């Protein structure tokens, strides 16, 4: 990362319902403008909030997830162009709400990153939830990426991906300074799994994990009808940063942007002078993997 602080905005984004494409575009434009007005340089939207666009379809389509995903493909070019234009206009980086992109006979859940020059890159979700795999026809991506930007290097771990430690670890070891986690959860337990995992990844890698969530109810949608969670910025709990590992968190289920200024200096210090050195000590566990487990009967 660069030496100065980086201001990141993480969304608690409400699923809406629209009568026209223009109405949706106005909503996204207003959200981006609000974050920019607060000085955000990197904006993170949640997983699958793009599915609010299915409200534009006729009832038989919007009430069926598979038909929704198929119909959404016609909107993908305009969706991507809208975010590219907003990133260029405001000179910011935007991680747009992930959306299903047709891949063979199924779909991949793709989070697109847009840069201030309008270029784009994507991280596909790597680990499928049960609903994606069993009901939606979403298939895993294949590549773990990090993004090298003017704001620094970072990775994207889409929702369920953050529950698997080796994905984030490979991103960190490849140079990522922080991890972005867009999620969609419809139960308190689902949200808790993502939150706990995000905090664990921040602790073990001594890095920042930024969590964005969907909120609110959309009774018309079988895909994103119920949404619950809290956006947050997680750090390793240490004397140089914050005691409980939560830099800032939102108001549960309330639409809002959440902001934090992230300094790379604090992370560098905690990795060398912290109370513990999880990042440095990570390889020390590997010799244990080749040993047998002793059973002690008492």
DSSP-assigned beta bridge partners for residue 217: 226
Residues of the chain under the 50 pLDDT cut: 1-3
pLDDT at 48: 98
Q: What are phi and psi of 106, to 5 degrees?
A: -130, -150
Pair of tokens at residue 107: 């779909």
The string of DSSP letters for 57-83 reads: S-HHHHT-HHHHHHHHGGGHHHHHHHH
CB 169 within 8 A of CB 197: no
pLDDT at 51: 98
Q: Mind listing the pLDDT tens digit for each residue in 146-185?
A: 999 999 999 999 999 999 999 999 999 999 999 999 999 9
Q: Mind listing the pLDDT tens digit for each residue in 29-74?
A: 999 999 999 999 999 999 999 999 999 999 999 999 999 999 999 9
**What's the whole-model pTM score?**
0.96
29: helix, coil or strand? helix
Instruction: Name residues whose C-beta falls within 8 Å of residue 37's C-beta, 6 or more positions apart in sequence.
Output: none
């Amino acid at each position: 990362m660069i030496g100065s602080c980086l201001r990141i905005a993480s969304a608690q984004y409400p699923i809406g319902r629209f009568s026209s494409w223009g109405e949706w575009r106005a909503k996204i434009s207003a959200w981006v403008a609000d974050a920019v007005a607060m000085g955000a340089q990197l904006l993170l939207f949640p997983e699958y909030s793009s599915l609010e666009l299915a409200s534009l379809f006729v009832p038989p389509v919007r009430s069926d997830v598979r038909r929704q995903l198929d119909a959404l493909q016609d909107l993908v070019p305009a969706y991507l162009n809208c975010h590219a234009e907003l990133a260029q206009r405001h000179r910011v980086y935007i991680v747009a709400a992930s959306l299903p992109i047709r891949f063979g006979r199924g779909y991949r859940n793709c989070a697109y990153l847009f840069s201030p020059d309008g270029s784009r890159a994507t991280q596909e979700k790597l680990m499928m939830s049960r609903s994606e795999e069993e009901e939606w026809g979403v298939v895993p991506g294949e590549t773990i990426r990090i993004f090298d930007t003017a704001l620094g290097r970072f990775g994207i771990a889409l929702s369920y991906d953050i529950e698997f430690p080796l994905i984030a670890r490979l991103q960190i070891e490849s140079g990522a300074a922080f991890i972005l986690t867009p999620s969609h959860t419809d139960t308190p337990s689902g949200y808790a799994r993502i939150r706990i995992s995000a905090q664990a990844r921040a602790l073990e890698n001594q890095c920042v994990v930024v969590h964005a969530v969907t909120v609110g109810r959309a009774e018309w949608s079988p895909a994103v009808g119920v949404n619950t969670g809290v956006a947050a910025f997680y750090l390793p709990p240490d004397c140089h940063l914050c005691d409980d590992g939560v830099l800032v968190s939102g108001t549960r289920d309330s639409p809002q942007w959440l902001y934090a200024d992230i300094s790379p200096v604090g992370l560098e210090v905690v990795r060398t002078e912290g109370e513990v050195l999880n990042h440095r000590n990570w390889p020390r566990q590997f010799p244990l993997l080749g040993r047998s487990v002793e059973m002690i009967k008492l």
